[in-house]
């Protein structure tokens, strides 16, 4: 493959794409491969260049790639775009792959598994059970979680969801519309799993205990729904709200800012990882079926899950959480081993979303009418 310059996906490149799961008879090269032993070949791969398709931020890619190259001698050129664009591009190139590896939200690799080789990172079994590659097509490398951000001048301490029902917080909680905001919906899902009862994800998300909590929580919002999750942090910082519900990336932004300037705008901001549990939304890496650089691609997958690669995600990249407990993390992050995580598969999340939003809509209409 000729060396390509860094590209951005264009809308025009997505026209006339065909799905991975089409009805065409697969060629011999497209048949499902026998699972490969989870270890990279030891051949000298220095000077190899991989092409990576990814929807993670370019800032993250520009930190990760030089670290990987310095350790392995393998270079990476990347194509960056939205998750949907990347998925379509991989699908459209199935019969003539233009990339070797992807770094995407886990479910988008697993849902298109016929586009990827079956390969697990060499140390996959060393990861916590919730972060192991159950399908064998995507090695989970990092995750994001919903958190609670709060202003310590307005509320002394927040430990979890139960604290948000305190009458003193009525009208002082910044929360978006779960039907429109991903951060708001993921908090809703997290609430249902954390506060619900039952032996299965479905049972917890449909339980009276879960929805009684959600009902009380929305009553405490006092009809206030923020228009954009992006305003959550600014509202907490300014004191307009005592508490804000968002992704951990916003929390990290505040905690990093406080470290850089202890007397600056973030000096009174703290972040709560809910004691009732957090639901990680994972991303991972996969190898595109048909790559001509399989050994180097496996090396990339192994490195991203290795202690060194995970430490890059934990210390050098601000907005990612590594899945390996042995990884070092920045001072403003928590190690995964200290979190209570709540398991839900991407399929379970998708299967239960419609019903959850229907119940949510009934509740929000009651309190915003």
Q: Is the pLDDT of residue 19 over 60?
A: no
d(CA 208, CA 194): 13
Instruction: Answer whether residue 5 shows pLDDT above 80.
Output: no
Where residue 14 falls among pLDDT bands split at 50, 70, 90?
very low
pLDDT at 42: 56
pTM over 0.85: no
pLDDT at 127: 95
Has residue 20 got a pLDDT over 70?
A: no
Over pLDDT 70: what percentage of the chain? Answer: 88
Q: What is the pLDDT of residue 231?
A: 85
Residue 139 parent element (H or E): strand 139-144
The domains of the chain, with CATH numbers, are 31-143+281-334 (3.40.190.10), 146-279+343-368 (3.40.190.10)
Residues 155-161, mean pLDDT to the nearest whole number? 96
Residue 293 has pLDDT above 60, yes or no: yes
Q: What tens digit of pLDDT does each residue of 187-223 get? A: 999 999 999 999 999 999 999 999 999 999 999 999 8
> Which band of pLDDT confidence, cut at 50, 70 and 90, is reported for residue 365?
confident
Task: Write a three-state SS string for 60-113.
Answer: HHHHHHHHHHHHHCCEEEEEECCHHHHHHHHHHCCCCCCCCEEEEEHHHHHCCH
Q: Which of 316, 349, 364, 302 is nearest to 127 (CA)?
A: 302
């Amino acid at each position: 493959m000729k060396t390509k310059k860094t590209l951005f996906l264009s809308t025009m490149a997505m026209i006339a794409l065909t799905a991975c799961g089409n009805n065409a008879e697969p060629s011999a090269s497209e048949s499902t491969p026998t699972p490969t032993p989870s270890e990279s070949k030891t051949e000298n791969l220095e000077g190899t260049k991989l092409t990576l398709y990814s929807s993670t931020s370019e800032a993250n890619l520009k930190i990760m790639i030089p670290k990987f190259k310095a350790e392995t001698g393998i270079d990476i050129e990347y194509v960056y775009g939205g998750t949907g664009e990347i998925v379509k591009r991989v699908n459209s190139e199935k019969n003539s792959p233009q990339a070797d590896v992807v770094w995407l939200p886990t479910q988008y690799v697993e849902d298109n598994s016929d586009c990827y080789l079956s390969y697990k990172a060499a140390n996959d079994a060393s990861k916590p059970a919730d972060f192991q590659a159950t399908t064998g097509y995507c090695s989970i490398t990092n995750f994001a979680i919903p958190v609670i951000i709060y202003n310590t001048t307005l509320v002394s301490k927040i430990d979890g969801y139960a604290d948000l029902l305190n009458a003193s917080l009525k009208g002082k909680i910044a929360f978006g519309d779960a039907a429109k905001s991903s951060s708001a919906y993921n908090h809703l899902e997290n609430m249902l799993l954390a506060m619900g009862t039952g032996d299965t994800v479905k049972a917890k998300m449909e339980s009276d205990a879960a929805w009684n909590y959600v009902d009380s929580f929305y009553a405490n919002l006092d009809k206030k729904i923020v228009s954009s999750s992006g305003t959550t942090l600014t509202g907490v910082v300014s004191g307009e709200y005592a508490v804000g519900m968002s992704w951990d990336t916003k929390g990290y932004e505040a905690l990093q800012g406080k470290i850089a300037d202890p007397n600056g705008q973030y000096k009174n901001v703290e972040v709560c990882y809910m004691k009732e549990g957090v639901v990680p939304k994972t991303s991972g890496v996969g190898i595109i079926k048909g790559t001509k650089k399989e050994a180097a691609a496996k090396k990339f997958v192994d490195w991203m899950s290795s202690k060194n690669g995970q430490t890059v995600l934990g210390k050098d990249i601000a907005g990612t959480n590594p899945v390996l407990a042995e990884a070092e993390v920045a001072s403003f992050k928590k190690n995964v081993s200290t979190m209570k995580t709540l398991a839900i598969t991407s399929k379970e999340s998708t299967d239960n979303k419609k019903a959850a939003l229907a119940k949510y809509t009934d509740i929000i209409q009651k309190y915003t009418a």
